């Protein structure tokens, strides 16, 4: 007989199981994305969001309800990536807000938690859409409320019925959102949520699950403040810290991820922070030599420090260093404004830097940065007011969440949804003008630019009446697919035709990493020929995945 | 009634002929180009100036020699009782300071006006001065009135190139480089002493709509308080007449409630010197009544 109340231990166990189950279904959920673009995927985003929380919870399985809830809430808020990740984090935040008040949960409390979760998540979305993860969550909350009011007291029956109803609602999402129906899929975010709930239910039933969460790529610097470990718990004995001096050498996000995964194979408590010309590294491992050898590939090492943790508990050295650094940083006078921008590709990064961006978060198209990445960027800029340009519609919410979580600085999110919008917004910024004038001016600039992006389809689908085959080129505009086909030039030209009118003056082409300069020049020539009255501008963007990012204004 | 002469300088953007037509005297501004001195509108015509500029000549502006100013005053005072002297904005040149100092020796016969204007809006203030003179005000009264009205005007200028701002050290080479790469067009505002960045855009149509909206909001606000005061709208440009004429049609559509004349004139060489050719400007001033 499964328990009829949930204590903190069981809640932690269920949460970890839910996270684990979501992670195992990640690829399947990615496949459900409506837009068949090689883009930041729902499954990946939700998994990284929940894993960030799971990492915090896994160190605390014996904690009380308040501790567990805090870890779930803050871990997922910080780790939130992509819109579905942000919504998931808000659901968890709302849910834990209710249950943290109790040591043991019954049907009434869980049902109230569901209600609060849904309420919180709806609030976080500017224009809630039905047929999404929100609808699925709401369906479950409604069912939970109904069961409670009808006097259901058996937690097992309650869970079973709620989940069954959630799945029912999920199956109906294609009827609510035509794009889903056309593509022949259920909503991916809703599916992700059901995986979490299902995993939690399995744990409740006592099915075998693994306790330790896989740290994955969600590991981030802030994770350092883990609880002090007692000696017999120490799995990896040497706390190893050092700094890599890059000396101008490149250390990009890919290398950082590679290096992190390597360290993950050696131990835990991994921190890799790249900052200007240095990379700070921290790992707990039984073989510090391997970590050091690998790091030498990236540059010279300095400030090496290896402690045997089994002999002495020296945990928070880096944290203290960072605190000291933070103090030193804030001692300098703050500048009035700073800019954070998200982009991928050397060329685009260079443009953003030259336009005055202080901190560039690499990513956007293939990897949506998390709220945590934004918070780190905000931390790194010593300015009174910080503007964030997300440059991707799937990152705007994470940026808003970071703004909400920041207390010591004024953060303004300019909701740029494409790279050209970000560029135009930055151009429109006038240092002498007031914040209000600048926000208006930048939003106006966003409205004045049309964006089209050329990429390829990762699978067959039907969208907006267009039949799309895997490998097709697609031209995607601000409001949907503008063109598709087998010839990249044709697709691009068709797309531009739909973006331009008689008033168009400038067509800017940013070509991606997978396009040769010659091909790009040929494209420019073709566009110039077609639009003799327009200025046609070609820049090496260097972005992955998107062959061409084009703006018309 | 005292006979009052109006004197201005070529920073008004008027040609010698236009000044004569208006019945005002005009001091030509001196320019030093590639080491040689020229006088605006005397031995330096616009086309020649544009040519110097495109050929990257070294161009410096300066203020009129005090002797030139005093000689003109002495000459004019043989026929007139008083002089109202309107030089370019004290925020942009020290011509006014010099004129004020020189006027001290003229027993109150010369009033040097500090009304912070240049180019089109400076012409507007000359028209205002003529109106006040005809109403019978003294030079001092006219001058004080022009000064109190001085700030009720704005000029918005969209630049076609960043080259000359960079040359004049008004923007950094780095800002100029990225600006040129992305074809950024700054919209500047001249308001009183200040010459500030007002907006930055990439297309002329966006720039024009920003200038029109700025003028509309000036009209609704401080300059006319929604039609309470009479106002005048003018267009100016640097070697960009066709675009200016096109712009006039667009303004008639965008601001249909304005029925007055829209003067189209070239910006003075002193402004051209800093912004280069191809610029388009929209100006608005309150009319003195």
Mind listing the pLDDT tens digit for each residue in A50-87? 999 999 998 887 899 999 999 999 899 888 888 888 89
Mark yes or no for CB contact B206/A537 under 8 Å.
no
- Nearest-Cα residue of chain B relative to residue A446: B201
Strand order in the sheet with B110-112: B25-27, B4-9, B82-86, B110-112
Please say whether the beta carbons of A410 and A386 come within 8 A.
Answer: yes
- The residue assigned the tokens 């930048």 is A442
The whole-number average pLDDT for the span A19-29 is 90
Confidence at residue A255, expressed as pLDDT on a 0 to 100 scale:
83
- What lies within 8 Å, CB to CB, of A250 at 6+ separation is none
Confidence at residue A261, expressed as pLDDT on a 0 to 100 scale:
83
Confidence at residue A275, expressed as pLDDT on a 0 to 100 scale:
65
Q: How far is A248 from chain B (nearest CA, A)?
A: 21
Higher pLDDT pick, A513 / A282: A513
Q: What are phi and psi of A303, to 5 degrees?
A: 50, 45
Decide if pLDDT at A202 tops 70: yes
The whole-number average pLDDT for the span A185-195 is 93
Contact residues on chain B for A537, CB-CB shorter than 8 A: 182-183
Confidence at residue A340, expressed as pLDDT on a 0 to 100 scale:
96
Mark yes or no for CB contact A537/B200 under 8 Å.
no
Decide if pLDDT at A222 tops 70: no
The whole-number average pLDDT for the span A341-351 is 92
Residue (of A457, A445, A459, A449) closest to A481 by Cα position? A457
Where does A450-552 sit in CATH, by number? 3.30.1180
- A433: buried, middle or exposed (CB in 10 Å: 19+, 13-18, 0-12)? middle
Q: How far apart are CA B170 and CA B59, in angstroms?
A: 15
Least confident of A225-234, A374-383, A441-450, B61-70: A225-234
The whole-number average pLDDT for the span B47-68 is 90
Work out the pLDDT band at A464, boundaries 50, 70, 90: confident
DSSP helix/strand/coil, B237? strand
Confidence at residue B268, expressed as pLDDT on a 0 to 100 scale:
93
CB atoms within 10 A of CB A18: 24
CATH class of residue range A330-447: alpha beta
The tokens of A146 are what?
Answer: 């109904």
The whole-number average pLDDT for the span A516-526 is 96
What tens digit of pLDDT does each residue of A225-277 get? 333 333 345 677 887 878 888 887 888 877 888 888 888 888 877 777 766 67
Confidence at residue A77, expressed as pLDDT on a 0 to 100 scale:
86
Where does A8-204 sit in CATH, by number? 1.25.40.340
Contact residues on chain A for B203, CB-CB shorter than 8 A: 448, 505-506, 553
The tokens of A76 are what?
Answer: 């997922």
- The residue assigned the tokens 């207390």 is A407
CATH class of residue range B153-286: alpha beta
Mark yes or no for CB contact B183/A506 under 8 Å.
yes
Decide if pLDDT at A213 tops 50: no
Q: How far apart are CA A339 and CA A386, in angstroms?
A: 6
- B193: buried, middle or exposed (CB in 10 Å: 19+, 13-18, 0-12)? exposed
Higher pLDDT pick, A39 / A267: A267
Work out the pLDDT band at A432, boundaries 50, 70, 90: confident
Mark yes or no for CB contact A354/B177 under 8 Å.
yes
Decide if pLDDT at A331 tops 70: no
The whole-number average pLDDT for the span B59-63 is 85
Q: How far apart are CA A198 and CA A195, in angstroms?
A: 5
CB atoms within 10 A of CB B284: 26
Mark yes or no for CB contact B182/A423 under 8 Å.
yes
Instruction: Provide the residue ranges of all domains of chain A, joining segments of one domain with +.
Output: 8-204, 226-315, 330-447, 450-552
Please say whether the beta carbons of A195 and A22 come within 8 A.
Answer: yes
Contact residues on chain A for B177, CB-CB shorter than 8 A: 354
Confidence at residue A124, expressed as pLDDT on a 0 to 100 scale:
76
Largest CA distance in chain A: 77
Confidence at residue A219, expressed as pLDDT on a 0 to 100 scale:
32
Instruction: Provide the residue ranges of all domains of chain B, joining segments of one domain with +.
Output: 4-29+64-149, 153-286
Confidence at residue A276, expressed as pLDDT on a 0 to 100 scale:
63
Mark yes or no for CB contact A429/B182 under 8 Å.
no
Q: How far apart are CA A45 and CA A246, in angstroms?
A: 30
Confidence at residue B238, expressed as pLDDT on a 0 to 100 scale:
96
Q: Give the fold, CATH level 3, of A226-315.
A: Alpha-Beta Plaits (3.30.70)
Confidence at residue B44, expressed as pLDDT on a 0 to 100 scale:
94
Confidence at residue A260, expressed as pLDDT on a 0 to 100 scale:
82
Least confident of A371-380, A416-425, B84-93, B237-246: B84-93
Decide if pLDDT at A346 tops 70: yes
CB atoms within 10 A of CB B278: 17
**What is the residue-averaged pLDDT of chain A?**
86
- Give counts: helices (H), strands (E), chain A: 20, 16
Confidence at residue A440, expressed as pLDDT on a 0 to 100 scale:
93
Residue (of A412, A418, A439, A400) closest to A126 by Cα position? A400
What tens digit of pLDDT does each residue of A467-492 get? 889 889 999 999 889 999 999 999 99
Confidence at residue A317, expressed as pLDDT on a 0 to 100 scale:
46
Confidence at residue A365, expressed as pLDDT on a 0 to 100 scale:
59
Q: How far apart are CA B200 and CA B39, in angstroms?
A: 34
Q: How far apart are CA A483 and CA A480, in angstroms?
A: 9
Strands B185-191 and B153-158: antiparallel
Confidence at residue A240, expressed as pLDDT on a 0 to 100 scale:
82
Q: Which residues of B touch A (CB under 8 A)?
A: 174, 177-178, 181-184, 196-206
Please say whether the beta carbons of B230 and B177 come within 8 A.
Answer: no
What tens digit of pLDDT does each residue of A92-142 get? 999 999 999 999 999 999 999 999 999 999 887 777 888 999 999 999 999
Give the DSSP letter string of A41-70: -HHHHHHHHHHHHHHHHHTTTT--HHHHHH
Decide if pLDDT at A38 tops 70: no
What tens digit of pLDDT does each residue of A354-375 get? 999 999 998 765 678 989 999 9
**What is the residue-averaged pLDDT of chain B?**
92
The whole-number average pLDDT for the span A199-216 is 70
- The residue assigned the tokens 């069961």 is A147
Give the DSSP letter string of A315-380: --HHHHHHHHHHHHHHHSPPEEEEEEEEE-SHHHHHHHHHTT-SEEEE-SSSSPPBHHHHHHHHHH
Mark yes or no for CB contact B200/A427 under 8 Å.
yes
Decide if pLDDT at B181 tops 80: yes
Find which of A141-145, A214-218, A257-261, B89-93 is predicted with most confidence, using mean pLDDT: A141-145
Q: How far is A477 from chain B (nearest CA, A)?
A: 20
Domain B4-29+64-149 bears CATH identifier 3.40.228.10: no
């Amino acid at each position: 007989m499964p328990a009829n109340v949930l204590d903190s231990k069981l809640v932690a166990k269920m949460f970890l199981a839910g996270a684990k189950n979501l992670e195992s279904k990640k690829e399947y959920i990615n496949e459900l994305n409506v837009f068949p673009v090689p883009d930041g995927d729902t499954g990946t985003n939700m998994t990284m969001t929940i894993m960030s929380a799971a990492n915090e919870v896994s160190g605390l399985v014996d904690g009380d309800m308040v501790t567990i809830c805090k870890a779930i809430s803050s871990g997922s808020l910080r780790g939130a990536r992509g819109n579905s990740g942000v919504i998931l984090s808000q659901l968890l935040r709302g849910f834990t807000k209710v249950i943290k008040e109790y040591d043991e949960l019954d049907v009434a409390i869980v049902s109230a938690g569901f209600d609060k979760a849904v309420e919180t998540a709806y609030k976080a979305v500017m224009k809630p859409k039905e047929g999404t993860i929100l609808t699925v969550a709401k369906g479950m909350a409604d069912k939970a409320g109904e069961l409670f009011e009808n006097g259901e007291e058996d937690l097992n029956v309650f869970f079973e019925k709620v989940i069954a109803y959630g799945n029912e609602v999920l199956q109906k999402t294609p009827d609510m959102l035509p794009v889903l129906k056309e593509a022949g899929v259920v909503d991916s975010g809703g599916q992700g949520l059901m995986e979490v709930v299902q995993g939690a239910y399995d744990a409740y039933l006592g099915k075998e699950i693994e306790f330790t969460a896989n740290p994955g790529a969600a590991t981030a610097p802030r994770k350092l403040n883990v609880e002090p470990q007692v000696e017999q718990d120490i799995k990896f004995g040497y706390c190893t810290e050092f700094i890599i001096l890059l000396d101008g050498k490149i250390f990009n996000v890919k290398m950082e991820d590679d290096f992190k995964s390597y360290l993950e194979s050696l131990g835990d408590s991994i921190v890799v922070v790249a900052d200007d010309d240095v990379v700070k590294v921290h790992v707990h491992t039984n073989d510090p030599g391997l970590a050091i050898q690998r790091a030498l590939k990236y540059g010279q090492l300095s400030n090496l420090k290896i402690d045997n943790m089994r002999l002495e508990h020296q945990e928070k050295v880096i944290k203290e260093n960072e605190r000291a650094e933070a103090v030193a940083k804030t001692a300098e006078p703050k500048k009035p404004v700073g800019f954070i921008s998200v982009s991928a590709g050397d060329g685009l990064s260079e443009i953003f830097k030259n336009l005055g961006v202080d901190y560039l978060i690499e990513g956007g198209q293939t990897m949506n940065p998390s709220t945590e990445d934004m918070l780190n960027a905000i931390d790194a800029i010593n300015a009174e007011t910080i503007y964030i340009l997300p440059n991707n519609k799937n990152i705007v919410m994470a940026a808003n969440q970071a703004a909400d979580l920041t207390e010591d600085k004024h953060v303004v999110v300019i909701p740029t949804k494409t790279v050209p919008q970000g560029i135009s917004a930055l151009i429109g910024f006038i240092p002498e003008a007031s914040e209000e004038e600048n926000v208006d001016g930048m939003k106006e600039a966003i409205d004045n630019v049309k964006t089209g992006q050329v990429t390829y389809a990762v699978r067959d689908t039907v969208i907006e009446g267009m039949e799309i085959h895997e490998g097709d080129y697609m031209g995607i505009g601000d409001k949907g697919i503008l063109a598709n086909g087998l010839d990249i030039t044709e697709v691009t030209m068709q797309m531009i035709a739909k973006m331009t009118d008689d008033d168009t003056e400038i067509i800017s082409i940013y070509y991606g990493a997978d396009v040769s300069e010659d091909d790009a020049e040929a494209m420019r020539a073709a566009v110039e020929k077609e639009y003799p009255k327009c200025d046609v501008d070609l820049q090496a963007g260097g972005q992955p995945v998107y062959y061409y990012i084009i703006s018309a204004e | 009634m005292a006979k009052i002469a109006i004197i201005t300088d070529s920073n008004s953007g008027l040609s010698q002929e236009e000044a004569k037509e208006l019945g005002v005297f005009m001091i030509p501004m001196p320019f030093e180009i590639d080491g040689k001195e020229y006088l605006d509108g005397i031995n330096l015509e616009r086309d020649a100036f544009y040519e110097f500029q495109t050929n990257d000549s070294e161009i410096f502006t300066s203020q009129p020699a005090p002797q030139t100013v005093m000689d003109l005053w002495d000459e004019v005072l043989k026929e007139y009782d008083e002089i109202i002297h309107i030089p370019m904005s004290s925020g942009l040149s020290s011509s006014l300071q010099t004129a004020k100092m020189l006027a001290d020796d003229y027993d109150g016969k010369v009033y040097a006006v500090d009304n912070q204007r240049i180019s089109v809006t400076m012409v507007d203030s000359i028209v205002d001065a003529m109106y006040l003179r005809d109403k019978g005000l003294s030079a001092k009264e006219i001058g004080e009135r022009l000064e109190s009205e001085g700030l009720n005007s704005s000029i918005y200028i969209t630049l076609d190139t960043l080259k000359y701002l960079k040359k004049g050290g008004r923007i950094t080479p780095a800002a100029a480089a990225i600006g040129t790469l992305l074809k950024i067009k700054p919209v500047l505002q001249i308001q009183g002493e200040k010459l500030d960045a007002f907006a930055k855009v990439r297309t002329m149509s966006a720039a024009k709509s920003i200038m029109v909206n700025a003028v509309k909001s000036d009209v609704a606000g401080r300059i006319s308080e929604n039609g309470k005061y009479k106002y005048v709208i003018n267009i100016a440009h640097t070697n960009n007449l066709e675009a200016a004429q096109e712009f006039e049609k667009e303004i008639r559509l965008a601001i249909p409630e304005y029925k007055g004349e829209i003067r189209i004139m070239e910006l003075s060489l002193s402004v051209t010197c800093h912004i280069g050719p191809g610029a388009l400007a929209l100006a608005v001033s309150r009319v003195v009544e």
